Structure 1
Amino acid sequence: MTEISLDDYLARGGKLTAPTNVPARYRGELLRLMSSFVDSELAGSAGFADAINRAPGIRERIAASRIVLEKADHAERVLDLMTAFGTDKTRYEQAHDWAARGPREAEIGAHRQGADMRLSVFHYPLQGWVDAVVMNVLMGLATGVQLGELAHASYTPFAEAIREIAPREARHAELGLEGLARLTAGEAGRTEARRAIAYWMPRVAATFGQADSPRFETLRRMGLRHRTNEALLAEWRALAEAELTRLNLN
């Protein structure tokens, strides 16, 4: 295919299946998406690892350990796809301090920080068990929405990997909701949870990117994105508000 006919093919819903038939512009945007996913999963896993020892019971420790393990596994699955494009897996894994966090009071917005591609929310530190559970719930729901979008990406190996990962990420959110329900059975727990919700809601919202993103149209033409940032954000807000209302936390 020529570049022009390939653009038309992708715009009409066509799929690519291997690095050999991926043009340079598409390759750059695809690797950017995959890097953002890998870096966010590695940073999420590393940041949540400390929460294991803050867990109040065995059930909670098991849930936190599962989340840490599976997020690292998800990162590796997509990183393995990146090696087909020439990424050095060993160097990539060791390139950054995935547990590094900035000041709690920082106002990062949606901007990337440093050299890695993690979502901005993973630059904020967790502060105690309730805070960690709330962040896991809100970001877990956001991840579900975001993976639902990536599951239809035009690069088939990536989309297939995301479809395999998505149910496990959904379970992470469910584990968080189960834990949050136990933590907020009393008024003291609800007060602490509401404080954490007020902190994390805008920071998770920022992971959906800016409205009217100029990059969205490029990604849409390539079949790597389909729904706008605003639509994904609205879906997440509705899901989060429904769950928080159910728990008397909205």
Structure 2
Amino acid sequence: MAQDMTIDSYLAQGGKLTNPTNVPPRYRAELLKIMATFVDSELAGAAGFADVINAGPGIKERIAAARIVLEKTDNADTVLNLMGEFGANTDRYANHHPWTDRLPRDTPPGTARNAHDMRLSVLNYPLDGWVDAVTMNLCMGLAVGVQLDEFLTSSYQPFAEAIRKITPVEARHTELAEEGLQKLIAQGGGPAAVAAVTYWRPRVAAVFGEGARDRFEQLKAWGLRRTPNATLGATWESRLDDALARLDLSA
């Protein structure tokens, strides 16, 4: 970075930061918020899916579910280690929140359960059986793909590198969900899947809430975000519609 260039100017021109020592305080706070949201969401998602492993109709399905739980937990650990470089207590973190806690199933979309738990709001809702879990995994997996794309070019280079490794793992989880749902539909689970899409779609959509415009513009200037939530949400809607068309589902 040129000696006469401010950190903000450097970031606005596409500069990258590589370690905690040269990260300004406000940038640090926003970066940690982004990383905490990812870690909390992965841990909450893994905890929720762990509860339905034994609902799988066969050994292969249970293995796939267990693999998802393992890999989501590992993804959380990868980003949590980055947070540890900023001073986060990584040993305490995994037990800091009751990751299995959920709201009543009929709670309106977008409701937060705990202000200190940074998980995405959709992960505050309980799964209701195997078809519901697989359908949620498809709907949310497509949303995760859109969100991870947003962070591939993060100006904090270690985070961007971690996301590049995590992205194909999460993409495979979404593929497993679509494959599993296709099999369930062939076995007569179509009506249950339609009902599950109807339930989960607005709850996943809520994670793309507009948020504060000023905050987004600042994150964009720092290279921590690129795309407005409305655009991300529209991309997710399109990908979900494509998946539902492939499955011959309407919801």
TM-score tier, shorter chain, comes to: over 0.9
2:227 corresponds to which residue? 227
How far is 1:4 from its partner? 7.2
Moved over 6 A (4+): 1-4
Distance 1:104 1:213, change over 3 A: farther
Distance 1:230 1:3, change over 3 A: farther
1:41 corresponds to which residue? 42
Q: What are structure 2's unaligned runs of at least 5 residues?
A: none
| In structure 1, distance between residues paired with 2:89 and 2:109 | 30
Secondary structure of 1:185 counterpart? helix
Identity of aligned residues (%): 57
2:207 corresponds to which residue? 207
- What is the number of equivalent residue pairs in this alignment? 249
1:26 corresponds to which residue? 27
| In structure 2, distance between residues paired with 1:146 and 1:228 | 11
How far is 1:90 from its partner? 1.2
CA RMSD in angstroms, aligned pairs only: 1.6
Secondary structure of 1:14 counterpart? coil
Q: Normalised by the size of structure 2, how large is the TM-score?
A: 0.95
Q: What are structure 1's unaligned runs of at least 5 residues?
A: none
How far is 1:156 from its partner? 0.2
1:60 corresponds to which residue? 61
2:105 corresponds to which residue? 104
What are the superposed Cα offsets for residues 79-133 of structure 1, whole Å, 9 maximum, x if unpaired? 0001111101111111100111110011141646342100000000000000000
1:195 corresponds to which residue? 195
2:10 corresponds to which residue? 9
The amino acid of 2:246's aligned partner reads R
1:137 corresponds to which residue? 138
How far is 1:209 from its partner? 2.4
How far is 1:213 from its partner? 3.6
| In structure 2, distance between residues paired with 1:73 and 1:3 | 41
| In structure 2, distance between residues paired with 1:241 and 1:214 | 31
Conserved 8 A contact 2:103-2:113: no
1:247 corresponds to which residue? 247
2:91 corresponds to which residue? 90
The amino acid of 1:100's aligned partner reads D
The amino acid of 1:230's aligned partner reads A
Q: Normalised by the size of structure 1, how large is the TM-score?
A: 0.96
Conserved 8 A contact 2:154-2:225: yes
Range moving further from structure 2, 65-74 or 104-113: 104-113
| In structure 1, distance between residues paired with 2:242 and 2:10 | 39
| In structure 1, distance between residues paired with 2:231 and 2:110 | 18
Range moving further from structure 2, 207-216 or 142-151: 207-216
